[in-house]
Structure 1
Amino acid sequence: MNALAELTRPLPAPGSASPTDRRDLLRLAGDGRMPYPALVRLLGAAAAHAPDPAAAPGARAAGADVPRLTARQTAVLTLMAEGHGNAVIARTLSCSEHTVKNVVYELMARLQARNRAHAVARAVRHSLI
């Protein structure tokens, strides 16, 4: 079974496959790109195994820190997740590149992300895309 097929098969029981094993599989997959469904599954598995924030003292109510996005922000974020640049996103959404840059800037602030990849990862974790 090749590395890409290994990544897209159902997740094993918790504790049976370490994150290091999955990173090794990604390196073997080829050009270093991860298929979007595999990324969603890996991030979802990481969120499922994360400690419960509600159990910590002074934690916010569940779902209180999930940002709300506009339809335009969701569309831009979805196209960013597919790997498109600002020019392609602008043509797809029939708007200017300047508008896309402004939307990306707003997304970074709203998602508290350091870069585009971090914004996509946070959106996937919060099931925004």
Structure 2
Amino acid sequence: MMNSSEGEPISRTWVARLMKPQGLKSKRRRQFKATTQAHPTRPAAPNVFNQAFETTRPDRGYVGDITFIPTEEGWLDLAVLLDLYSRAVVGWAMSARINATLTHDALMMAIWKRRPAPGLIVHSDRGRQ
């Protein structure tokens, strides 16, 4: 039993019965999905930034990550790269499947859009993607 704002007890099933004729549905919580798993046999690359994620010029360092967006049809995967100097999104890609192509496409977009000079550092976590 849950309490309404007036303090009267009310059940979830009763609320569902009241909502149904009006075409309303509750938004259900999505099941947790683990996002990052380090590959156990591959060594980690050196942490060049050492958690000091700042640069003095644009296009010297990018940071990236992947997130999962729930939709009516299932999960949508989004890879994003940010420029550390401006904090602007410089590359992104979306896909229904998480694979190396997703991250590759985000990086290629950033390189195509920004044309960074040699020496660019790209940092991300150690996911299996």
- TM, length-normalised to structure 1: 0.23
- Decide which structure has greater helix share: 1
TM-score (norm 2): 0.23
Structure ranking higher in strand proportion:
2
